[in-house]
Chain A
Amino acid sequence: QSALTQPASVSGSPGQSITISCTGTSSDVGGYNYVSWYQQHPGKAPKLMIYDVSKRPSGVSDRFSGSKSGNTASLTISGLQAEDEADYYCCSYAGSTIYVIFGGGTKLTVL
Chain B
Amino acid sequence: QVQLQESGPGLVKPSETLSLTCTVSGGSISSYYWSWIRQPPGKGLEWIGYTHYSGGTNYNPSLKSRVTMSIDTSKNQFSLKLSSVTAADTAVYYCAKIGSGGARWDCWGQGTLVTVSS
Q: Give residues in A with beta carbon < 8 Å to B.
A: 3, 32, 34, 36, 38, 44-48, 51-52, 57, 89, 91-93, 96-100, 102-105
Measured CB to CB, the nearest residue on chain A to B100 is A51
Interface footprint category on B:
20 to 34
A104 to B105, CA, bound (A): 17
Give chain A residues whose Cβ lies under 8 Å from the Cβ of B105: 36, 38, 46, 48
A-B contact pairs, 10 of them (CB 8 A): A36-B104, A44-B110, A45-B94, A46-B94, A48-B104, A48-B106, A57-B99, A89-B44, A99-B58, A105-B45
- B26: Cβ under 8 A from any A Cβ: no
- On whether the beta carbons of B47 and A45 are closer than 8 Å, the reply is no
Known contacts A93-B103, A99-B60, A100-B47, then 9 further A-B pairs from the complex at CB < 8 Å, ordered by chain A residue:
A36-B104, A48-B99, A51-B104, A52-B101, A99-B103, A100-B103, A102-B44, A102-B47, A105-B45
Q: Give residues in B with beta carbon < 8 Å to A.
A: 44-47, 50, 58, 60-61, 94, 99, 101-106, 108-111
Give chain B residues whose Cβ lies under 8 Å from the Cβ of A32: 103
- On whether the beta carbons of A36 and B45 are closer than 8 Å, the reply is no
- On whether the beta carbons of A45 and B109 are closer than 8 Å, the reply is yes
Q: Which of B47, B103, B105, B106 has the most CB of A within 10 A?
A: B103
**Chain B proximity of A21: nearest CB distance (Å):** 16
Give the 10 A-B residue pairs with the shortest CB-CB distance, closest first.
Answer: A45-B108, A93-B103, A36-B104, A51-B104, A34-B103, A102-B45, A105-B44, A48-B106, A104-B44, A100-B47
- On whether the beta carbons of A34 and B45 are closer than 8 Å, the reply is no
A21 to B108, CA, bound (A): 24
- On whether the beta carbons of A3 and B44 are closer than 8 Å, the reply is yes
Q: A34-B104, A36-B104, A93-B102 are in contact. Are A46 and B45 (CB under 8 A)?
A: yes
Measured CB to CB, the nearest residue on chain A to B106 is A48
Give chain A residues whose Cβ lies under 8 Å from the Cβ of B108: 45-47
**Chain B proximity of A33: nearest CB distance (Å):** 10
**Chain B proximity of A63: nearest CB distance (Å):** 19
A44 to B94, CA, bound (A): 10
